[in-house]
Amino acid sequence: MADDTFYVTTPIYYVNDKPHIGHAFTTILADTLKRFHQLCGRETHFLTGTDEHGQKVERAAADRGVCPQEHCDSMVGFFEQLATDVGASHDDFIRTTEERHTKVVTHLLQSLFDKGEIYKSEYDGWYCVADEAYYTDKDVVDGMSPSGRPVERITETNYFFKMGAYQDWLIKYIEDNPTFIQPDFRRNETLGFLRSQTLNDLCISRPKSRLSWGIPLPFDEEFVTFVWFDALTNYISAIGYPENTETFGKWWPALHLIGKDILTTHTVYWPTMLQAAGIPQPETIFAHGWWLNDNRKMGKSDGNVIKPAPYLEAYGIDAFRYGLLAEMVMGQDSSFSDRTFNLRYNAELANDLGNLGSRVTKLLAKNLDGKAPDVAATALDGAPEKELWALAQDVVASYEADFKAFATHKAIAQVMRLVRAVNGYLEVRAPWKQAKEDDLGPFGITIYTSLECLRIASILLQPVMPNKMAELRTALGLSGDPRLNQATQWGLIPAGASITPVALFPRKILAEEPEDKPAATPKKNVKKTEGVTTTDQISIDDFTKVKLRTAKVINAEKVEGKNKLLKLEVMVGSERRQIVAGIADFYDPDTLRHKVVIVVANLKPAIIAGIESQGMLLAASMGSNLKLLTVDGEMASGSKVQ
């Protein structure tokens, strides 16, 4: 990536589930940065895509009862659609199951193997499928990975990459390149980790007998590649490494945008892999924080995801992008809420910016026939105009610095500072009164100065809101792609230009939940349901004695010598339990893994077929049919059922 080119990537998303606001955000951020660099005149390349191998995807496919490739083919569309829905202008979308990618992974593995960077040894440790990561004993607390998800013990022969040999080199590289990992506190996090412990070699394979859904190791067909080794390589396979030296040379090194959850893989695994292969390092790895819902990371396993679709529908693409980028203090976590989103939309887009646009363009239409007045040469002679323009220039300079520091929320706040200053200027100059004077000169100066400031705002906000800013620019009579250097020039709206009234952001009323929902009226006549009579009725107190909880099945197996029984291992929140259930006639144990079921959590343990059973599963049954109760959508294990 030379000074005149810019290559940006998002993480490639796992296709185990449909995308949510967290995924949308990284894509929006990448798109906004790409558009900013275009504004600065650079040639740009934006890559996104999907991570389709590994155990997590294999299990998601098994849960749906389809083969992994079929699963990926049916899921990838959701991620492609998401990119389109949020207005991403990506230049490439890579899938790790594509041949153009798998052949590069194979090449990289073979060349590292040939160089003696890969060796075979025993792995004895933990694996977390949800994180797709290996963990040591000290990482695992109460059967959970550092991210709070269940781990599995594995003891198997595997291949290892000599990552440990690069520890000192990596520390020095990060120290010598202060902008390599950003923000600074994430850089310190990686440095702290590298300085405080011995960096182990990286296990980069799984035996085919345990996991078949991966790229085979070229030097041992009995193994497939660890999903992270495969996935990280997408950043270079997509731009033609190693064969197409022209495209690779043109775009590499990249800016990698990631969420903070994948800092280690990107700032330790990836740099050492590249170094061992003799490939230059990425330009920068920038980690943003998480979108939280109810103070917890939004994610599939927490069952608290917020989908972008309703917001895109209600507010439109541009307002959605603006809302997320303005809200998240870049680098920090941020909570998403309907209310904050709506308040910001109405205050900043509908009121400050939208009203400014419509007020100025309407006044011009009404009083000067929508034609830009011929005052550019003299308008800045006036003190308030000079002051406003100076502020606009200060905003442009800060905006550029903020963008370069990835502080997109600050860059946006700068533009809004200008917008509010123009609104303040209008209050003082009162063009609605000036329009009633015989001399329309002062009116023309007020309107023209405001139009020029709106033009600056339309340039600066273009990376964030490309469609709405294009609409504004058309209304201002401007054509062609904007450039940042036009924001430092005065008077680019020509005298006589036709300006049309514009209404950009209509106010949106948030449908409020009524504060006091009426209490449900008890029904007098209790109907008789199948098999239940009024004499069976219990009081609510009786019912609340039964503690029902959601539980995630992590393992299920047949009980030897007992045809009807299965032994299940389940997680109820962070507690591991064993339950024996008479469901073997109805369920194949393999199909139960990962299901979220309902258990009676406070039942006294019982010994069934000589095995302790610590709870009971709920199931619906009629005749010879039986189905386990589960939940309608995602729900964390350990959730109350009431």
Q: From 231-239, 407-415, 455-463, 473-481, give the range in contact with ligand MSP by CB under 6 A.
A: 231-239
Closest approach of Cβ 288 to ligand MSP, in Å?
7
- Which of 13, 93, 345, 443 touches ligand MSP (CB under 6 A)? 13
Report the distance separating Cα 190 and Cα 270, nearest Å: 13
Closest CB to ligand MSP among residues 326, 601: 326
Closest CB to ligand MSP among residues 181, 454: 181
Report the distance separating Cα 618 and Cα 629, nearest Å: 6
Contact set for ligand MSP, span 293-332 (CB under 6 A): 297-299
For 211, residues 6+ apart whose C-beta sits below 8 A from its C-beta are 54, 55, 58, 224
Site string for ligand MSP, 413-452 (x = CB under 6 A): ----------------------------------------
549 contacts ligand MSP (rule: CB under 6 A): no
23 contacts ligand MSP (rule: CB under 6 A): yes
Q: From 10-18, 87-95, 118-126, 450-458, give the range in contact with ligand MSP by CB under 6 A.
A: 10-18
- Residue 388 near residue 428, CB atoms below 8 Å: no
Contact set for ligand MSP, span 40-69 (CB under 6 A): 51
Closest CB to ligand MSP among residues 25, 160: 25
Q: Which of 630, 625, 608, 607 is nearest to 553 (CA)?
A: 630
Closest CB to ligand MSP among residues 18, 208: 18
Contact set for ligand MSP, span 84-123 (CB under 6 A): none
- Burial (CB < 10 A; 0-12, 13-18, 19+), residue 536, is exposed
For 452, residues 6+ apart whose C-beta sits below 8 A from its C-beta are 389, 392, 490, 491, 492, 493
Site string for ligand MSP, 166-205 (x = CB under 6 A): ----------------------------------------
Residues near ligand MSP (CB under 6 A), total? 21
Q: Which of 567, 577, 573 is nearest to 609 (CA)?
A: 567
What is the 8-class DSSP label of residue 62? H
14 contacts ligand MSP (rule: CB under 6 A): yes
Q: Are strands 43-51 and 92-95 parallel, antiparallel or unpaired?
A: parallel
Closest approach of Cβ 10 to ligand MSP, in Å?
7
Q: Which residue is nearest to ligand MSP (CB)?
A: 22
Report the distance separating Cα 109 and Cα 276, nearest Å: 11
At 372 the three-state DSSP class reads coil
Amino acid at 387: E
Q: From 8-16, 193-201, 421-429, 512-520, give the range in contact with ligand MSP by CB under 6 A.
A: 8-16
Closest CB to ligand MSP among residues 286, 443: 286
Contact set for ligand MSP, span 234-293 (CB under 6 A): 234, 258-259, 261-262, 290-291
Q: From 9-17, 36-44, 468-476, 490-498, give the range in contact with ligand MSP by CB under 6 A.
A: 9-17
At 43 the three-state DSSP class reads strand
Q: Which of 117, 253, 277, 75 is nearest to 180 (CA)?
A: 253
- Residue 290 near residue 297, CB atoms below 8 Å: yes
Closest approach of Cβ 289 to ligand MSP, in Å?
7
Closest approach of Cβ 298 to ligand MSP, in Å?
4
- Burial (CB < 10 A; 0-12, 13-18, 19+), residue 404, is middle
Contact set for ligand MSP, span 363-422 (CB under 6 A): none
At 7 the three-state DSSP class reads strand
Closest CB to ligand MSP among residues 323, 477: 323
Closest approach of Cβ 364 to ligand MSP, in Å?
42
Report DSSP letters for 433-489, one per residue.
Answer: HHTTSS--HHHHHHHHHHHHHHHHHHHHTTTT-HHHHHHHHHHTT--S---GGGGG-
- Which of 6, 7, 25, 93 touches ligand MSP (CB under 6 A)? 25
Report the distance separating Cα 429 and Cα 43, nearest Å: 42
Which residues are at the interface with ligand MSP (CB under 6 A)? 11-14, 22-23, 25-26, 51, 231-232, 234, 258-259, 261-262, 290-291, 297-299
